[in-house]
A = this chain, B = another copy of it.
Amino acid sequence: MNASDKVWTAAVLVIGDEILSGRTHDKNIAQIASWLQVQGIRLTEARVVSDDMAAIVAAVNALRQTYDYLFTTGGIGPTHDDITVDAVASALGVPVVVHPEARAILERYYADRTGGPTDARLRMARVPEGADLIPNRMSGAPGIRWGNVFIMAGVPHITAGMLDALTGTLEGGAPLIAETVGCWVAESEVADLLRTIEKTHPGCQVGSYPFFREGRTGANFVIRSIDGELLSAAVASLCEALAAEGHAFTPGGI
């Protein structure tokens, strides 16, 4: 394998009782996944754990050791249930310290706001020792980077801003590209055809994602590859095979 063939991998660890209670639908997995694709990094696993020290520590250590990058979301606010920084520091085996730059940012941010820079707010300047900050242009508290661990906010638009700040700064490989072909057909009708397309086009994966809309059955077929030419050839074969079996299809998906 050449160095350039390396597949860069990442995991997301969502921290929060609110996701596991069903109260809040997670949006960060999909958001980080899409962003990683563009960086040439493949999201390979995601986990959701509750606001529990032991659970967070175990997941952080399992994931940061298995994948090239780990992104955590949630649990970095000012309230008592925000324990991510303490848990990550414990996983890394380093103490929690106050980051002077983070403290200065928070003092500036809260200077003119009701209540001012309280102790609770300044808790958000605490980081695992040796960490760097990730800029947050949406609100006061910055994200945190320690080695291959990225500690992001739980609120999706704040995490979006942090991802923007990280764009282009992480080493990745060739981005996985994808093309979608949609078809109003039961996927079971074309299962053999799809299997053949994947078998005869090495370097391409073919996924089938059925849906049921407006009382009709359909599916989107997604072909993925890191090679644009292989991808185009596979898509052409798929369209040809669908047409040969009399199925109308929609390039780009339905």
CA distance A115 to B23 in the complex (A): 42
Pick the contact of A208: B37, B55, B77, B195 (CB < 8 A): B77
Contact B19 A191 (CB under 8 A): no
- Whether A45 is near chain B, meaning CB under 8 Å from some CB there, is yes
Contact B43 A49 (CB under 8 A): no
List of B residues within 8 angstroms of A209 by Cβ: 18, 23-24
Contact A22 B37 (CB under 8 A): yes
- Whether A183 is near chain B, meaning CB under 8 Å from some CB there, is no
- Whether A113 is near chain B, meaning CB under 8 Å from some CB there, is yes
Pick the contact of A44: B25, B50, B119 (CB < 8 A): B50
Tell me the interface secondary structure of chain A in the complex: mixed
Interface residues on A, range: 35 or more
List of B residues within 8 angstroms of A18 by Cβ: 207, 209, 222
- Whether A210 is near chain B, meaning CB under 8 Å from some CB there, is yes
Residue of B nearest to A114 (CB): B189
- Whether A34 is near chain B, meaning CB under 8 Å from some CB there, is yes
Pick the contact of A207: B31, B32, B44, B81 (CB < 8 A): B81
Contact B21 A43 (CB under 8 A): yes
- Take A49-B45, A207-B17, A222-B18 as given contacts and tell me if A78 and B25 are in contact as well, using a CB distance cutoff of 8 Å: no
Pick the contact of A80: B48, B194, B211 (CB < 8 A): B194
Which chain A residues (74-104) contact chain B, with CB distance < 8 Å? Answer: 77-81
